[in-house]
Each structure stands twice: as structure tokens, then as C-alpha cells.
Structure 1
Amino acid sequence: MEKLEKAFALFDAYNKQDPKTLVWDGVTYPEEYFYAIELYNWVLKLEPKASEPVLLASRSQHIGRWTIPRDSYPDGKAGYLNWRSNLAKFHATKAGELMEEAGYDTDFIEGVQKIILKQKIKLDPEVQLIENALCLVFLQFQFESFIQKHAEDKLINIVRKTWKKMSQAGHDAALKLTYSERAKDLIGKALG
């Protein structure tokens, strides 16, 4: 557990450098630090006995995301997909560097990186667990702000894509979240 706690401390210190902040329940947080903690919390809610690699991946899934902004890539689907791919590789590399500093060996680090890179999603239950948790963080903490920024047809499409990424355990947890009336309406239309 000593290595795990050291890695968490390194991940958290890195994510606390995020210049973007958000306020939740009256407290201001560096954005990626907040989301990393909430992703970790969702993993534990979904699987209280989650493995050490999954816990490490949850805390570092989007580590340093602010360092590669979306607007540094071209608009459109191709630009978006290229950004996402390069970002995932960055997250895996940065997490690996910090895990090595915490004392983990190469084989263990590579196992965590496979989860961060979402390799074999739908086939690997640990990767699916992370994907469920990511979708739940989005629905709980980010969906309402998306509603303010996007047209209804795009929001319905976002919900459908999010739903498709989750397993039944993710769906069950998502249906128990508290949503605004507008969000409930959009989710109903997307799933109807």
C-alpha cells in the first residue's frame, strides 16, 4: 500500500497544477484533481474490491489533461479523434513516469497503462469498470454544463454514445443519479 499511496500523492500533486478550477458544494478545486478523485470514488462505488491497477488508473486516467488543449488540434471529427488518441498516450506515459517514481516495476506499470488506454474495453472487466466510472462522472458532474452549450440533437447523441459505452452496472448507477428536469427529458429522449 505504500507504493499506492505514494503514486496517489504524485498523481494528485500533478493534477492540482491544473489552472482551470471548478466549484462544487462551495469548495474550489483544480478541475482535473476533482475529476480524478470523483472517478476513483465511482470505481469504489461500483466495485469496492477493485484491484490496485484499476485504482491507479482511476486516479491518473486524465492526468495533466489541460496540457494538451482541444483547441490545439483542428476542428472536426478527425481533429477530435487525433486529440483524444494523443491525449490518452500522454496520460499513460505521465502515469507511468509517476508510478515508476513511486516504485512500481515496468510490468505492473504496463498493466495500468493498458487500462488507461482502454485496451480491450468490453472484453476486460477492469477496463469496462473504468469506462462505467468515466461515464458516471460525466453524467453526474459535467452533463448539466453540456446542456447549456449544445443543441438538443447533439445532446441526445451524446447521451446515446455515453450509454453505449457503459455495461448494465453503469446503466443501473446512471439511472439512480439525480438530474434536472431538462437532463431527465434529454435522457428519456435518448433512451426512448
Structure 2
Amino acid sequence: MTRLSRTLAAIDDANAADPDREGGVPAAELYGQRMSAELDRLFPDASEELRIAARGQHIERWTSPRSAWPEGREGYLAWRRDLGAYHARRVGEIMAAEGYTAEAVERVGRMIRKEGIKRDPEVQALEDVICFTFLRWYFRLFAEGRDAGGLERIVAKTARKMSAEARARALAEFALPEPFAAAFRG
């Protein structure tokens, strides 16, 4: 077993404690595996650090539920910022235990915290993978019960986070109805 495979397995082990299940599988573990599959499909030559960041991007997310934070945009942004720091720290602990350098741990942490989005190709690649995973596996359920205007704003924000190449690929791969498709063309 390689250091990378041990690291990914340790992330899966941590996520196996998720009490939420999807098809009988811990939801966080399944999410990490879906992220890895999407990364392999979109970026088959991804670095080891990017592979670790993709798998661990939501490590133990259930331990900090959104409901524990204040309502509204400020509460949401604080929750996301604190989660990013927590995820980076937890993945860093696993990496350090497997002998990765401090530089590699910090690199993965920057990716998970999304530092350098739109400037750092690997941070952007991770964001593109996150968006594809959302669109492929979670969008339909997320959209249920939401008002059309709010959903349009969320889709537009998702599209803005993606690279131009990823937006074009999303248009080709997903049957996005208007006005959602327009957000990916813009």
C-alpha cells in the first residue's frame, strides 16, 4: 500500500463515522469517493496533493452542522471559513502521520481553504471538481423545494466559481435548462 493510498484510506476511515447514510454508506465517505472519481475523470494527471485535497475536502463535516451557526449570509460564511480551516487541519494531521512534508501539508491546506481560487491552477481544479460533484450528485436534491429565483442565484454563483473550461464542459455534460445554462455560458 502506498503512502497516498494509506492517506486516502485514513480519510475514508474518518468519514466512515458519519451518522448520515446514503444508500447505506456513510454520506461523508461517499462524498469523498465521488470527489476522487470526478477528479480522476476531469484531471487524470492530478498531483498527489490535489488527490488528497479532493478526498478530504469535507472530512468529518457532520461534526459542525450548519444549524449550529447563525442564520444569514454572515453566519454561512463564518461556518464555511471555519469548516475549511478544520478540514485542512484534519487532513494535515493524517498527512503528517503518513510522513508528508510540512510543505505538502500546507499546500493541501491552501487548496482545501480555497486560497488562490482563480489564480492557482490546482485550487481552481479542486473548485471545478467540487462543482461537478455537486451538479452530478447533489443538485437535484438540493433544488427540491427551493424557489426559482434563489436557485438561479445559487447556480450563477456556482458557475462563477468554475473555470471557463469547466463551465464549457458542464454545458456539454449536463442537460441544464434555461436560465441555468445561461449562467454557464456567461
How much does 1:101 deviate?
Answer: 1.5
1:20-169 map, 5 Å: 20-23=20-23, 28-169=24-165
Number of residues of Structure 1 aligned to a counterpart in Structure 2: 185
How much does 1:133 deviate?
Answer: 0.4
**Amino-acid identity (%):** 36
How much does 1:111 deviate?
Answer: 1.1
1:187 and 2:172 are equivalent in the alignment? no
Q: 2:2 maps to what in 1?
A: 2
2:35 touches 2:129 (CA, 8 Å); kept in 1? yes
1:65 touches 1:87 (CA, 8 Å); kept in 2? yes
Write the distance in 2 (CA, Å) between the matches of 1:34 and 1:168: 28
Q: 2:17 maps to what in 1?
A: 17
Gaps of 5+ in 2: none
Write the distance in 2 (CA, Å) between the matches of 1:79 and 1:34: 27
TM-score, structure 2 length as denominator? Answer: 0.93
Give the letter aligned to residue 20 of structure 1: D
Write the distance in 2 (CA, Å) between the matches of 1:148 and 1:127: 30
For the aligned residues, what is the CA RMSD? 1.6
Write the distance in 1 (CA, Å) between the matches of 2:131 and 2:181: 17
SS at match of 1:63: coil
SS at match of 1:149: coil
Assess, with a 3 A threshold, how the Cα gap between structure 1 residues 52 and 191 changes in structure 2: closer, same or farther: closer
Query: Which of structures 1 and 2 has the larger relative contact order (alpha carbons within 8 angstroms, sep 6+)?
Result: 1
Q: 2:167 maps to what in 1?
A: 171
1:136 touches 1:173 (CA, 8 Å); kept in 2? no
CA deviations on 1:108-166 (whole Å, 9 max, x unpaired) are: 11111111111111110000000000001111111101221310000000110000000
How much does 1:169 deviate?
Answer: 2.2
How much does 1:85 deviate?
Answer: 0.5
With 102-111 and 123-132 compared, the bigger mean Cα shift is at 102-111
Write the distance in 1 (CA, Å) between the matches of 2:79 and 2:4: 29
Write the distance in 2 (CA, Å) between the matches of 1:20 and 1:96: 24
Gaps of 5+ in 1: none
How much does 1:79 deviate?
Answer: 0.5
1:42 touches 1:137 (CA, 8 Å); kept in 2? yes
How much does 1:34 deviate?
Answer: 1.1
Write the distance in 2 (CA, Å) between the matches of 1:191 and 1:89: 29
TM-score, structure 1 length as denominator? Answer: 0.90
Write the distance in 1 (CA, Å) between the matches of 2:6 and 2:58: 18
